[in-house]
């Protein structure tokens, strides 16, 4: 029977009723906060294109993680901004590099913080690409040992999770082998399995100081029209030893998140990237949108599509809002 016997509005009448029958829930434990670590002491450089985000020295990274923990955010992913860059991104795998230094400082301070380390060469190379350049092109196979070496360095420093984001073929297998051969088989691999060549990364490149100095990344990041290709990439990475797979960006690729979640029985992460974050802030600053409402609606949409984990620059703001 339909109306008036059944009335859908009965269950929407109050906030408590709506919460009682909510089909999709968001909690601080599902969120990962990206942080940008830079050299120096007491450094807190505002990132102009990403309101409320900063390049942080190691000491400020530690203090920021303490603040995040107070709000129930116990997952962070670290991106490094090195003092020097070179053609092979050696600062990215140096044991005294900025990310392993930060990992050690965090591990000394926190027992229950889950530390993710992004694994890529783009922040550390003087050309800004995600791998070694040979004859003007990114050399896939020459890059794999460097990614494995960086992952091993971060894991030895105390990272719980390494997250290769470079989109080189075979990198998950190379990383898994390096970890297992060195007694680090407990370290989790989160693969940026379906990372698209997106225009939504612009503010991140300001934050990480990593734009390519020539060309673009379309020869190794995925082409936006393709979904079946994403599923093949996910399957290959799982076969090579990935524990969690990621779709990046999130909002323009909700269909991809949904397909990945429905076809693979593994945890799925989604990266709510810098451009998605910054465009909402820009609209809110112009008075066009209510930031809190669209922030929550966006992240609920990502969860509803199938993401178990969301990497987002909104993490602290969401946690504060949920605690009200």
Catalytic annotation, residues: 195, 248
- Angle value at C-alpha 113, between 69 and 96, nearest 5 degrees: 120
d(CA 261, CA 255): 10
d(CA 79, CA 324): 30
d(CA 121, CA 27): 32
What dihedral angle (degrees, nearest 10) is formed by the CA atoms of 202, 208, 214, 217?
-60
- Angle value at C-alpha 84, between 82 and 85, nearest 5 degrees: 95
- Class of residue 35 by CB neighbours under 10 A (exposed 0-12, middle 13-18, buried 19+): buried
DSSP 111: S
d(CA 34, CA 105): 17
Are 310 and 299 within 8 A, CB to CB?
yes
Q: Output the DSSP codes for 186-252.
A: TSEEEEEEEEB--GGGHHHHHHHT---SSS-STTTSBPTT-SHHHHHHHHHHHHHT-SEEEEESSGG
Name the phi and psi angles at 137, rounded to 5. -130, 155
């Amino acid at each position: 029977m339909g109306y008036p016997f059944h009335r859908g509005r009965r269950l929407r009448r109050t906030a408590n009723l709506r919460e009682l029958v909510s089909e999709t829930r968001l909690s601080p434990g599902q969120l990962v906060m990206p942080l940008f670590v830079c050299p120096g002491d007491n450094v807190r450089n505002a990132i102009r294109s990403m309101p409320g985000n900063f390049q942080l020295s190691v000491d400020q990274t530690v203090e920021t993680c303490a603040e995040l923990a107070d709000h129930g955010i116990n997952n962070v992913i670290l991106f490094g901004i090195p003092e020097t860059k070179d053609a092979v991104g050696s600062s990215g795998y140096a044991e005294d590099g900025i990310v392993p230094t930060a990992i050690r400082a965090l591990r000394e301070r926190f027992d229950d913080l889950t530390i993710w380390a992004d694994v890529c060469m783009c922040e550390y190379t003087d050309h800004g690409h995600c791998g070694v350049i040979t004859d003007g092109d990114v050399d896939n196979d020459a890059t794999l040992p460097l990614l494995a070496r960086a992952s091993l360095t971060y894991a030895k420093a105390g990272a719980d999770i390494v997250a290769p984001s470079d989109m080189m073929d075979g990198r998950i297998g190379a990383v898994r082998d390096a970890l297992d051969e060195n007694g680090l088989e407990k370290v989790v691999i989160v693969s940026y399995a379906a990372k698209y060549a997106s225009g939504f990364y612009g503010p991140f490149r300001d934050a990480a100081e990593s734009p390519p100095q020539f060309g673009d990344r379309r020869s190794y990041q995925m082409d936006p029209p393709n979904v079946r290709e994403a599923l093949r990439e996910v399957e290959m990475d799982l076969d090579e030893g990935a524990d969690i797979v990621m779709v990046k960006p999130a909002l323009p690729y909700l269909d991809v998140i949904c397909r990945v979640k429905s076809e693979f029985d593994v945890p799925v992460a989604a990266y709510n990237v810098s451009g998605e974050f910054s465009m909402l802030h820009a609209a809110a600053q112009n008075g066009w949108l209510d930031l809190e409402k669209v922030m929550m609606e966006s992240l609920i949409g990502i969860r509803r599509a199938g993401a178990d984990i969301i990497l987002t620059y909104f993490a602290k703001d969401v946690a504060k809002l949920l605690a009200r």
